[in-house]
Chain A
Amino acid sequence: MTAAFAARVDAALADPVLKIAVERTAGTAEAKRTLAVDAFPDFEAARTRAAAIKDHVVANLGAYLERFEANATAAGATVHWASTAQEACDIVLALCRQAKAKSVARSKSMLGEEIGLPHALAEAGIERIETDLAEHIIQLAGERPSHIIWPAMHKTREQVSALFKASHHAPHEEETIAAMAESARRHLRDAMLGADVGISGANFLVADTGAVCTVTNEGNAELSLVPPRMHIVTAGIEKIVPSMPHAVHLLRMLSRSATGAPLSQYTTFYTGPRRPGDRDGPAEMHIVLVDNGRTRMRREGLAEMLRCIRCGACMNHCVVFRQIGGHAYGGTYPGPMGAVLTPAIDGLAASRDLPNACTLNGKCQEVCPVRIPLPTLLRGWREKSWREGLEPASVRSGLALWAWFARRPRLYRAATATALKSARLMGGGWLSRLPLAGGWTRHRDMPAPAPKSFMDQYRQGRRR
């Protein structure tokens, strides 16, 4: 593992507040998802269908994008295409300038984070109003999101309270979460209603209607997209669905997997700009379709990752994420999906640690609503990293990887606890499945695993 990654992990593990904050939210999400999935008639079949819908789209992506473009254009929207993050930001900035925008209201979009839009807007001197409560919190803190559904998951109420008191004009007096949310409501409302441009992402792009779908619990997307005169959408090209009923199926999966609700509070389909006679709505709608590595992922063995609907279930159920939180991953996307995506977006050389920071216990794959084989894709990155000689020989042996975990007792115990429970550690689990695990397999003739015997074994190994 690189020193930078190890340092981030160690800082995270040493932060007692972080662990509490992550556990509070991820634990609740895990419990709610379980209830929702158990109440659903046949969630396993529904996952298979969801995966098939996305596979069909990814296999025919060019045709669907053209169809989406034609229908969105017919509805009066303007469609733009961007191969890279830079191109996408340039298009957005040019549109903002064209609208003479002094301030833009953004509703949470991971694609926006991925392409560095917050930074680009700042450089261009355009005021950015983050309207999602969590994004507002991390904007005040000058941080990046640590989770794709709850970007401020790493913050405790005490930290949020301090941030709001330092920057809201009429901050809360009572130290309750409700009072803090109310303070943000007061603070954000005027700014939001006065913005010149509204920028959103998209949960889905509906090919046969040209509609753009957003999903929120707060209603901040609608509140920030309806008043300004221009609505700009930035969306990854994989967000396409063939038609509205396909979107319905994926929406059922998304909300249950993310928050456990049958449907999120606000699901909105935007089709073109304001129409004659409408009392509100933007005069212009622009949609920026962004590649940023997706066509390459499709070509180079990561097509399955393009199924991802960004529900966050894989990270909520990941033993490593629950210990270290999202920032330690160092990219836009944390957790198991981030460990697959980040090397594809930022390059493997810069992020080769991520596929290693995984126990391959398979939990992420079990909960993924679109059946992405995350452990297999992670193993693919490991092998590539070894093949390309990015890893030192000690890591290739597998033992070094195990030792890396073992030197972090909290992480190690969390990792092995699940592995042992499912009796996978010696069978098909993480260590034995490591390619080129010669260094480890030499030690495999030991008795059935118990966490203690591993630690003993490791200490013995160190004394030798």
Chain B
Amino acid sequence: MTAPAADSPVLRLKNVKKRYNIGLPSEQEVLHGIDLSVGPGEFLAMVGPSGSGKSTLLNILGLLDQPSDGEVFIAGRSTRGLSDGELSRLRGERLGFVFQFHHLLTAFTALDNIQMPCWAAMGRRDPDIEAHAQALLASVGLDDYGERKPKALSGGQQQRVAICRALINRPPLVLADEPTGNLDTESSEQVFDLLRRFNREFGCAFIIVTHDLELAEKCDRVIELVDGRILDDRSGIGVPS
């Protein structure tokens, strides 16, 4: 895969539509032709009422779901017609995921959970990766928690581990679906600040779905999704001096 030009979008959507229950009486189009382009290092919030299609859109961006119509480009390359292996590889190498319910594997330690995307890609463990995972843990303030299993961590701690996992491959784009939706205000702020910090340190782009308008306002760009359409796309609001 050739490296994309610095200013070419890490992600582009062309007229993406999503219909559910196709052919049934309950057929419903939840995304009505979304066009969107996200540049390298952008820090983007997606807001909108519940049921407006944010998660659906994010799953399509994350190649977990296929659009009924339209096309998704990752690093300038169309993802249409790719095999499961190729899609999985793109997910593992070019994308990071953070979910609302942190979703760690309870059978594995924090350190193992963070390395999982690399293990899947390489098929083996690697001391460099492990050191990198340990460094990431340290950078989120969980230096001594590497050998703990998720059940021995608080919600905020688990979410920080999940963020480390999303970043282990240094993906150009991280997708976060309500990463703070399940946390108290203090933990929310910690997690958000962390995302911001990694955005600056590693230069990876973020798309963060959130209900919290206060947090959204701190982002570089805010997209408002209503009824499966982009109603508003504001830039430059939260850029700090």
Indicate whether A and B interact. no
